[in-house]
């Protein structure tokens, strides 16, 4: 069943045809390509001397340092309260353990 001319070419891809090229031709082509790339690098360096490499894609604005340096006022107070509560809980656990040990010792005596 045919779904139209757009889908016909997708059914079976055509086989790749091999092209016979001499190695000297390939070297010449590679030399031309490298010359063009070097020329493009030089032109880019002339336009933007402080940038050494070409940026691709969408340029993004750099993050402002003060965005990451801001301090949430409540975080420090909450941290101090949590530390205090943790210390109090640790003291309570230690005192409970000492009380149990004391009771065990009293029973054994």
Cβ–Cβ under 8 Å, residues 46 and 53: no
Q: How far apart are CA 3 and CA 56, in angstroms?
A: 39
Residues of the chain above pLDDT 70, percent: 70
Confidence of residue 4 (pLDDT cuts 50, 70, 90): low
74-102 pLDDT, tens digit per residue, is: 888 888 899 999 999 999 999 999 999 99
Structure tokens at 87: 């210390």
First to last CA, the chain: 97
pLDDT at 94: 93
């Amino acid at each position: 069943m045919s779904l139209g001319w757009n889908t016909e070419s997708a059914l079976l891809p055509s086989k790749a045809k091999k092209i016979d090229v001499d190695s000297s031709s390939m070297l010449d082509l590679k030399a031309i390509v490298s010359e063009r790339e070097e020329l493009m690098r030089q032109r880019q360096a002339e336009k933007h001397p402080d940038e050494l490499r070409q940026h691709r894609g969408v340029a993004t604005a750099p993050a402002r340092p003060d965005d990451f340096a801001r301090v949430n006022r409540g975080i420090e107070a909450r941290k101090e309260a949590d530390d205090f509560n943790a210390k109090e809980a640790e003291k309570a656990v230690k005192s409970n353990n000492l009380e149990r040990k004391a009771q065990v010792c009293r029973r054994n005596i």
